[in-house]
Structure 1
Amino acid sequence: MPRGALSAAALAATLSLALASCSSSSGSDSSGPAPGAEGTGGGKPLVVGVTSDPDTLFPWKATQFQAVNVLQNLYGTLTEFDKDLNVVPGLAESWDASEDGKTLTLKLRQGVTFADGSAFDSADVKSSLDKIMDEKTAAVARASLSSVKSVEAPDANTVVLKLSAPDAALPANLATVNMAMLSSDDTEEKLTATPNGTGPFTLGKRVPSQSITLTRNDAYWGAEKAKSPSVEFRVIPDESSIVSAMQSGNVQLAVFNDPLVAQTAEGGGTITVAKTPQLNYHVLQLNARRGELGDVNVRLAVQCAIDRKQVLDTAALGEGEVTGPNTAPAFKSDPDKRPCPTRDLAKAADYLGKAGKSGGVTIKTIVSQGEYATSVNEAQSLKAQLAEAKINLDLEVLESGAFVDRWVAADFDAAVALNGGRPDPDGSYGRYFTSDGNLNKVAGYSSDKLDKLFAEGKATTDQAARKAIYDQVAAELEDNAAWIWLFSGYTYTATTSGVQGFTPMANGSLQSLRATSVS
């Protein structure tokens, strides 16, 4: 995937670099090979152990980690990330910004086809971006295109974006699978059943709740085709059971969240484990538009009653670090700059008193079981700590798909969650905490001040100035206890002998499956 780079730091530094010209080098088979079959083109199949089945195969609405991991191997985006999260060309082989930063011209890669054999061109890009921006589509990345006034396709290989203001975050935002380019002839209903992308794999076979198999796309535009003829994502709900499957030779690769499971896997001697720090963050999301949490004093009481390090130590064996909202290195928040940087039960009681709730409050809280391993332990640690402050977390543990449905609908007072991080703070939070953000209902909080700060952050060209702006964003979020940021952790990539070419990434991406082989 890496092809000529635009660094994430440079992206954050200046708009002129973020939108600089870059350049580089180029049909879904519903039957496909059965899991375990070698298929055509040489190489051996790869089996990846996962704890949950994708909850959707439509890229514009994917929020579940497993769905994203599958879809990013089926679909292409205009820009991409390399292994170091530099922005590099994807379906757009180059892009140029006008002098005022309000026009972005993209030159598309030629000779690209969708899995069904149809040609990819500017009409597909215009159709995709227009639909993502249409509120009726309910695309989760709609807010990332808030600066785009119009999309023009002057010829088959050129797309012109007219912007309301310079947008330093746009190149990175275009690299997420929620911005996947779809054929203008396709519909959500059709793609939910049969994905049709430009990625290195096509859909082979799916057995719901058991496995989904991708087959190598021999028409893929990249300089190198996928190394493995097929990749099967095999659903094994428990991470410890995945270790057993790897030890018996039935699974060759898995990414764990539980450090104890990772230690167990590596201790067997036949499995190698790579530990990778992540941009994602563990968080107690508070819905400020529901019940007791509508009072900022109740939210601040929750913040002050939590020892984040204790949650980290209890749930993840201390493997990680306490974090504030911004987790990307160039914009990292100082977790000590919050109303209660350490646990303070006296302050928590004082805040509850100000809210007129000295007798305590109950907060209904949803928890996912299955998508990541530490969720229930985190929830139990939070519940025990908050009980000492007369704050009762009424926990409802849900299967991954049910949790996502409730989360997207904002049907919760609080949620114990693991959210993905991105190299640019606008991509991480612009869709959550702006009043017109398409996930603002899920975030449960916005303000005029945040709207102004996010707009300034996108339009600003100086790195130091952008860092200062997003520091103010973090302060606004922490001072109002919009959410309770807990910690950032690691992923643990386990491979058996013979697996080569897989590169773990700080954003949790499995895009390097295309470069992975089994000897």
Structure 2
Amino acid sequence: MRRSFFPHAPAFLHRFLLSAALVAGTAFAAVQAEAAPKTSVTIGMSVEPTGLDPTIAAPVAIGQVTWQNIFEGLTTVDRTGKVQPQLAESWEISPDGLTYTFKLRSGVTFHDGEVFDSSVARFAIERARGETSVNPQKRYFQTITSIETPDPQTLVLKLSKPTGSLLYWLAWPSSSIVGTRSAENNKTTPVGTGPFRFVSWAKGDRVELARNPDYWNKQGAARLERAVFRFMSEPQAQAAALQAGDIDAFPEFAAPELMQSFEGHERLVTVIGNTELKVVAGMNNARKPFDDKRVRQALMMAIDRNTLIEGAWSGFGTPIGSHYTPNDPGYVDLTGTYPYDPEKAKALLAEAGYGNGLAFTIKAPQMAYAQRSSQIMQAMFAEIGVTMNIETTEFPAKWVSDVFKGADYEMTIVAHAEPMDIDIYARDPYYFNYGNPDFNAVLDKVQLTSDAAEQAVHYGEAQKILAGDVPALYLFVMPKLGVWDRKLKGLWENEPIPSNVLTEVYWEE
């Protein structure tokens, strides 16, 4: 028989007291839930990665999900942009700069249990630099002539010539250390040594990660139990998801015109930081009329960068005159090399034989910044008698196929996200089809020294050559526009490398 605590109370009182107890219990549970800090986070991204292995494909969205979360390197880059030890705890460089000896960490295992040692590190580097490699930054490993593994905790790289940027390059997502057993399947089921393990990928929607309980760095272990990356390309939907609390953070919010809508919000904050996102309108220097430097210079003078930034990105951005950002060592402000001057632009076009104007097509990705910038440039070019047709090109697949790999284009526009990537103009081939031996010689000087001050001087020289030759129209650097819950701490405000590092992220109590 069920016993009542109020044996003489009428039935309606029993029901009242039971309801009150249930309400009180629910309220108590709610208070407990509110008091306990959250252990999961949902991060919004505008672009879904094409795969999850940053060592075999170029799109930055891959590293924004996996770098420092799933995958790690011999070295890493911290939130200030400085190189730090990671799977290599220390290193020595020979006086001639041709031998790098790394002392590797012990006690490191991959998420599938494989032990990390020098043989695994050698495998990962050989895979990245081999003949059949599809590594997006294969050039980083070109000067490595041999790899030695005298013992499990020692890795020796022998170089053909000094490579002053090697430690920095080894920190990149494309240089991530992959396991011998798992590398083949990392594109869909990534396995690394990082603080988070891969759980699932619902294509078109999300990637889910979980904390790695066996992470080697106990002091740097993740504080979150779970992390979800949600993919949402439409800016209005991004804003709505943030407002509703369906997404905790959009570290790279794609609608600058909506940033003001979050001002004074009781739960959300806006954060404006620095990035390496250089918006440039690349030209196919091997095709007419862009094979004539005077045409490229005239088009540069037809652009009012400040007006373009206001119209394309709501005034958020910094004008640039070369392929370099103010965050980088040796930056030189070269926006005055070919400043806005439509009349001089017309005269230069006439000198080049295009006094009656010219016409061409720009292949512009569907992203808002590219479309808006193209439309504004179209109007500015019309002022000097130039007709630019806009062809929307799906990014990344179609753009990578047609422009990046095929160089089948006249003009394009894209935000180059890789830091310190001014050396792309020395690549042969590369989609700009630009070549200047003087420029290449300056970049060679950068690698001949590891002295930061000396490197900065050479980087300044390289910037000036590009500003004069104008192989691309240098427009502006996009800032990092972040919107996230004010109780969410540890996200990177600036972006020295494209990433969403979650190791230090936690919820404030």
Distance 1:421 1:435 in 2: 15
The 3 A distance-change label for structure 1 pair 63 and 264 is: farther
Aligned-partner SS, 1:292: coil
Residue number in structure 2 paired with 1:473 = 462
Amino acid at match of 2:492: T
Q: Distance in 2 between matches of 1:433 and 1:510?
A: 24
From 144, 169, 172, give the equivalent of 1:173: 169
Q: Which runs of 5+ in 2 are unaligned?
A: 1-32
Would you say the 8 A contact 1:78–1:92 is kept in 2?
yes
Amino acid at match of 1:241: A
Contact 1:64 1:404 in 2 (8 A): no
Instruction: Please give the secondary structure, in 2, of the residue aligned with 1:59.
Output: coil
Counterparts of 2:109 and 2:357, CA distance in 1:
60
Task: Please state how far the C-alpha of 1:463 moved relative to its aligned partner.
Answer: 4.1
Per mean C-alpha deviation after superposition, the further-off stretch among 125-134 and 168-177 is: 125-134
Q: 2:323 aligns with which of 318, 322, 325?
A: 325
Structure 1 residues 394 and 151: alpha-carbon distance in aligned structure 2, compared to 1, 3 A threshold: farther
Question: Which residue does the alignment assign to 1:455?
Answer: 444
Q: Between Structure 1 and Structure 2, whose CA radius of gyration is higher?
A: 2
Which residue number corresponds to residue 417 of structure 2? 420
Matches within 5 A, 1:312-461: 312-323=309-320, 324-327=322-325, 328-336=327-335, 338=337, 340=338, 342-370=339-367, 373-402=368-397, 403-409=399-405, 410-422=407-419, 425=420, 428-430=421-423, 432-436=424-428, 440-461=429-450
Q: Give me the whole-angstrom Cα distance separating, in 1, the residues matched to 2:286 and 2:446.
A: 26
Q: Any conservation in 2 of the 1:49–1:236 contact (CA below 8 Å)?
A: yes
- For residues 111 and 461 of structure 1, the distance between their equivalents in structure 2, rounded to whole angstroms, comes to 31
Q: Return the offset for 1:257.
A: 4.2
Counterpart residue identity of residue 326, structure 1 = Y
Does 170-179 or 465-474 show the bigger shift?
465-474
- Give the alignment of 1:42-441 within 5 angstroms: 44-72=39-67, 73-188=69-184, 190-222=185-217, 223-255=219-251, 256-323=253-320, 324-327=322-325, 328-336=327-335, 338=337, 340=338, 342-370=339-367, 373-402=368-397, 403-409=399-405, 410-422=407-419, 425=420, 428-430=421-423, 432-436=424-428, 440-441=429-430
Percentage of matched positions with identical amino acids: 26
Superposed CA deviations along residues 162-194 of structure 1, whole A, max 9, x for unmatched, are: 122222211111111011111234444x22221
Deviations 1:449-502 (A, max 9, x none): 122111111113444432332222112212111111111131122112432222
Gaps of 5+ in 1: 1-37
- Higher mean alpha-carbon deviation, 166-175 vs 132-141, is at 132-141
Counterpart residue type for residue 92 of structure 1: A
2: CA distance between counterparts of 1:76 and 1:192?
16
| CA-to-aligned-CA distance 1:84-108 (integer Å, 9 cap, x gap) | 1111111111111111211111111
Could you tell me how far apart the structure 1 residues matched to 2:85 and 2:451 are? 23
Distance 2:137 2:216 in 1: 25
| CA distance in structure 1 between the partners assigned to 2:195 and 2:431 by the alignment | 33
**Partner Cα distance (2:286, 2:120) in 1:** 38
CA distance in 2, matches of 1:82, 1:71: 15
For residues 409 and 330 of structure 2, the distance between their equivalents in structure 1, rounded to whole angstroms, comes to 30
Residues in 1 aligned to 2:260 and 2:58: alpha-carbon distance in whole angstroms: 29
The 8 Å contact of residues 74 and 201 in structure 1, kept in 2 or not, is answered as yes
Q: Determine helix, strand or coil for the equivalent of 1:63.
A: coil
| Deviation of the 1:279 alpha carbon | 2.7
How far apart in 2 are the matches of 1:495 and 1:71?
20
- Structure 2 CA distance for aligned equivalents of residues 63 and 369 of structure 1: 18
Deviations 1:96-155 (A, max 9, x none): 111121111111111111121111111222222222223531311112223322222222
Q: Residue 49 of structure 1: SS of its match in structure 2?
A: strand
Q: Distance in 2 between matches of 1:163 and 1:271?
A: 50
Q: For residues 97 and 130 of structure 1, do their structure 2 counterparts lie closer, same or farther at Cα, with a shift above 3 Å needed?
A: same
Kindly indicate whether residue 486 of structure 2 is the aligned counterpart of residue 487 of structure 1: no
> Which moves more between the two structures, 506-515 or 408-417?
506-515
SS at 1:515's partner residue? coil
Note if contact 1:420-1:507 (Cα within 8 Å) is conserved in structure 2.
no
